[in-house]
Amino acid sequence: MIVEFRVVLALALGVGALLGSAYLEGTALSVLIAGPTAVLVLGGTVAACLLHSPPGAWAPALRLALKALGRGTAAPDRRDDFVRWAGLARREGYLSLEPLVEREQDPVVRLGLRHLLDGGGKGRLKDTLTEAIEYRVAPLEEAAGLFEAAGGYAPTMGVLGAVLGLVHALQQLQDPAAMGPGVAAAFVATLYGLALANLLLLPIAGRLRLLAEQRRRAALELVEGLLGLSRLEHPQRLAERLAGPRQAQA
């Protein structure tokens, strides 16, 4: 999955703003480059995340994050399908929709059509489809939770690095000229932790939650179409009702 250019540009802008601000304030950029500090912040954050999550949780979360950072595709407009199916069901009954089930690619729509064909009852249809939607977006919500947890651990690891750096700086009391650079280097750890959390981890978590909500809304539109089929709603009335959510999103 190729990362969207806008994402790369945003990251470059964030890092550039950070470095540019430091440069304008007269901070030597070499002070901000601290390999051991980066190892502590990154290693500590990774360790905390691995302890936080069950085995195997991070691999799918990373895949979903890369996919979320790629160029997304809009949900297809299925209104014409539901209108056509509503007319077919009103004329020939639900069994006329049976050939559509095997060709249907969307799992929510396929489940709804099978429910209608099996005579599962209109009252249970909405609950069944709602459960299917939540199961569909659950991986995105779980991945967002993992990245939010990582966004909480990173600044803490930065503070831990700052404390260790201050301990090292205070050991140089006999050399006052060395204390200033030592204290400055100590706070670089805090900078790393905050930057990692607020420029990468928390934005990824927010993007995953937004993607989950977008998928939920798109799936709920499909549910409305399937509920219209279950009521054998008139095609024209169904088309007008389904047009409402699309117009609201526009």
Is residue 155 domain-resident?
yes
Number of structural domains (the chain) is 1
Is residue 1 domain-resident?
no
Is residue 9 domain-resident?
no
Is residue 4 domain-resident?
no
**Eight-class DSSP state of 4:** P
Is residue 114 domain-resident?
yes
130 contacts 101 by C-beta, under 8 angstroms: no
Is residue 133 domain-resident?
yes
For each of the chain's 250 residues, which pLDDT tens digit applies?
Answer: 567 788 889 989 998 998 888 888 888 788 788 888 889 999 999 999 999 998 899 999 999 999 998 877 778 888 999 999 999 989 998 888 888 888 899 999 999 999 888 876 677 888 889 899 999 999 999 999 999 999 999 999 999 999 988 888 888 777 777 777 778 888 899 999 999 999 999 999 999 999 999 999 989 889 999 999 888 898 899 998 888 655 545 4
Q: Kindly report the pTM of this predicted structure.
A: 0.85
Is residue 172 domain-resident?
yes
Q: To 10 degrees, the CA torsion angle through 37, 42, 48, 49?
A: 170
Is residue 25 domain-resident?
no
The residue segments making up the domain with residue 103 are 35-250
